[in-house]
Amino acid sequence: MDSSSTSEENTTAAAASYSLYWLDTNANDAEPLQNRLKNIVNNNNFRVFENLEDCEGTIRLSVEEIIVLIVSDSRAVQLVSRVHDLRRVLAIYVYGSNEEFHLLWIKNFKKVKNAIVHENDLIYQIQKAYRYCQPLGRIKFFSNADQSQQQSHKNLKLENVTFVWQQLFIEILLRLKQEE
């Protein structure tokens, strides 16, 4: 096995270790939203729970996974208080109609990122969280062209090396986690 296939497998394995779990007692009513969420994450990494105990048990048993959790109105406070301190829970989003109530209690839980009322806002937040979970991959500075065509570091200075470093810096900043 060559090293390129090994690194591709490691990247795939790293991406597969992130899962999206959703606790919703009325999950059957939200099938279109579920389909939109499945399009963001790998279909195998998306699970919907209607029972609080099943969701909590699965989170506690998921040793290899990093979990982004969506919790709907009715059971939000109970589940968040039980799983918030687990290391494998990366972020929690509270989705439901009672935004004012949720904004009051989520202040006590650092991993709860937001209380969300609108479906499109939820989709946006999950997309943002999932992008954060993706591995960086390889950054190429030079093409794989013939050695005789590659330029030395000295020649790169002539071609505005500052631009290259600025682009690299911007890419790193874009991938950093935002702190609130």
As beta bridge partners, residue 48 has: 22
Q: Are the CB atoms for 108 and 77 separated by under 8 Å? A: no
**CA atoms of 26 and 33, how far apart (whole Å):** 12
Strands of the sheet with 66-72, listed across from one edge: 46-49, 18-23, 66-72, 89-95, 112-116
Judge whether 80 lies within some domain.
yes
> Residue 172 has what pLDDT?
85
Full domain range(s) for residue 78: 3-133
| Lowest-pLDDT choice from 25-39, 54-68, 145-159 | 145-159
Is the residue at 162 inside a domain? no
Mean pLDDT (the chain, rounded): 75
pLDDT in tens, 48-68: 888 889 989 999 988 788 888
Name the domain count of the chain.
1
The answer to whether residue 92 sits within a structural domain is yes
pLDDT 10s digits, 95-135: 888 888 888 888 888 888 888 889 899 889 888 887 776 65
pLDDT at 8 over 50: no
Indicate whether 158 belongs to any domain: no
Give the sign of the dihedral formed by CA 22, CA 18, CA 45, CA 130.
positive
In terms of C-beta density within 10 A (0-12 exposed, 13-18 middle, 19 or more buried), how is residue 109 classed?
A: middle
Q: Is the pTM of this model over 0.75?
A: no
pLDDT value at 93 more than 60: yes
Which CATH number do you get for residue 39? 3.40.50.2300
Evaluate whether residue 59 is within a structural domain.
yes
pLDDT band, residue 2 (cuts 50/70/90)? very low
Q: Which of 134, 86, 74, 130 is nearest to 110 (CA)?
A: 86
Reference 86, options 107, 67, 114; nearest CA is: 67
In a domain, 163, yes or no: no
Instruction: Residue 129: name the closest of 4, 18, 17 by CA.
Output: 18
Terminus-to-terminus CA distance in the chain, angstroms?
A: 44
Assess if residue 128 is contained within a domain. yes
Instruction: Give every CB contact of residue 21 below 8 A, 6+ residues apart in sequence.
Output: 46, 47, 48, 49, 55, 58, 59, 67, 68, 69, 70
159 located within any domain: no
Tokens of 119: 């479906």
